[in-house]
Amino acid sequence: MLLSVLFFFKFLFFAPPAGDNVPASIYDFKVESLEGGKIDFAKYKGKKILIVNTASECGYTPQYEGLEELYKKHKDKLVIIGFPANNFGGQEPGSNEEIAGFCKKNYGVTFPMAAKIEVKGKDMAPIYHWLTEKKYNNFADNTVKWNFNKFLIDENGKLIGYYGSKVKPNDAELLKAIEQ
């Protein structure tokens, strides 16, 4: 009995923070897909990865069109992975099924989309801890400020760029980083 009480207090007061289950490499992540199954980042070794937090009811939502064009043009060396999140202004209220239907119907999205997650706050998904904390990504501390923030990872799994919402998928600086 005493042992179980001690274990309970240890768990209650000394439980590791949410970010402590963050893998060391981007290639160690396996996340739920929007349409079921898993997205295994290990299969993207040798390609650049552009991770974007998305929302269906945002002023930046038309960026889906540019992201799809970018993906189609560079899919031999780039994968784009969208992460729907409802962290900003309630702009992604739908279920995974509704989001998938919206993306296909309105923008013809064919790039991988993850299941809806949290990209900030106490329930932040581990992959966003990796993207936003230098202690994991060895690049920089970043803050996801709104929908359609972009993180670029090189062919070797290193975070090499962070781009805010206003940076469009056809932005010259982003294209240069992708084409290098």
Supply the residues annotated as catalytic: 58
What Å distances lie between residue 164 and 41, 90, 143, 169, CA to CA?
Answer: 23, 19, 10, 11
Non-local (6+) Cβ contacts of 153 within 8 A are 26, 48, 49, 50, 51, 159, 160
Q: How many CB atoms lie within 10 A of CB 24?
A: 10
DSSP for residue 115: P
Residue entry with tokens 């590791």: 16
Please, how many CA atoms are within 13 Å of residue 118, restricted to the half-sphere of its CB? Answer: 10
User: How big is the chain by its Cα radius of gyration, in Å?
Assistant: 17
Q: How far is the C-alpha of 168 from the C-alpha of 180, rounded, in Å?
A: 18
